[in-house]
């Protein structure tokens, strides 16, 4: 059963909290600074720069999620290694779509290296990645102009993220990440 069964939108009051915090994560200047630590980790990377850097460093994340946009500018998509399974999903801005959450869940369950290109925005997809990842995974995502946040998944982090998700609302036609009604 899916933990996210309907498109969820982030309420405006959560925006400052999520923009300024690293939920139980560790901020590092770049993946290169923790390469030895990550080499044998079950790793999930989210964001174009983090994904590109992981591939350039020879890391093979179980899951890579990117949208080919950096700082609101279209960029060239990261190029996953040829053995990666590739998938594309839609995920509107400020939301978590059922389609994206399901793709993340399925990729983690299958355990095969998967790259998901998001049409829309991938910024909030660390939430379902943490929820669906097993304890011990490391989720890495970019913190613009600051570095990379590394979240080691454990039961406490999963509870924090689940509680955060409960603050989200079903998307409506007037939501920032609106869906077709």
Residue 120 has pLDDT above 90, yes or no: yes
Annotated ligand binding at 106? The verdict is no
Q: What percent of the chain has pLDDT over 90?
A: 67
The average pLDDT across 6-27 equals: 74
State the pLDDT at residue 2. Answer: 47
- Going from N- to C-terminal start, the domains of the chain cover 8-170
Annotated ligand binding at 67? The verdict is yes
Annotated ligand binding at 70? The verdict is no
Q: What percent of the chain has pLDDT over 70?
A: 87
Nearest to 96 by CA among 158, 179, 14: 179
State the pLDDT at residue 175. Answer: 54
Helix, strand, coil shares of the chain as percentages rounded to 5? Answer: 30, 25, 45
Annotated ligand binding at 60? The verdict is no
pLDDT digits (tens, 9 = 90+) for 29-56: 999 999 999 988 999 999 999 999 999 9
pLDDT digits (tens, 9 = 90+) for 123-157: 899 999 999 999 999 999 998 888 999 999 999 99
pLDDT band for position 181 (50/70/90)? very low
State the pLDDT at residue 23. Answer: 57
pTM: 0.89
Round to whole Å and give the CA distance between 12 and 67: 22
Residue 179 has pLDDT above 50, yes or no: no
- Which position has the token pair 């490391």? 138
State the pLDDT at residue 85. Answer: 97
For residue 100, give both structure tokens: 């994206």
Other CB atoms within 10 Å distance of the CB of residue 97: 25
């Amino acid at each position: 059963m899916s933990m996210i069964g309907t498109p969820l939108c982030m309420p405006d009051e959560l925006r400052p909290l999520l923009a300024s915090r690293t939920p139980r994560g560790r901020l590092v200047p770049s993946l290169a600074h923790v390469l030895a630590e990550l080499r044998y980790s079950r790793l999930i990377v989210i964001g174009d720069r983090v994904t590109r850097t992981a591939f350039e460093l020879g890391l093979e994340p179980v899951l890579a999620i990117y949208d080919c946009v950096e700082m609101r500018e279209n960029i060239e998509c990261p190029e996953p290694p040829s053995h990666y399974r590739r998938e594309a999903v839609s995920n509107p801005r400020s939301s978590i779509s059922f389609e994206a959450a399901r793709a993340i869940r399925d990729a983690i369950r299958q355990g095969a290296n998967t790259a998901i290109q998001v049409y829309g925005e991938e910024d909030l997809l660390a939430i379902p990645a943490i929820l669906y990842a097993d304890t011990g995974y490391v989720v890495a995502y970019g913190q613009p102009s600051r570095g990379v946040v590394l979240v080691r998944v454990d039961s406490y982090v999963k509870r924090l993220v689940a509680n955060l998700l409960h603050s989200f609302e079903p998307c409506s036609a007037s939501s920032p990440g609106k869906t077709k009604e």
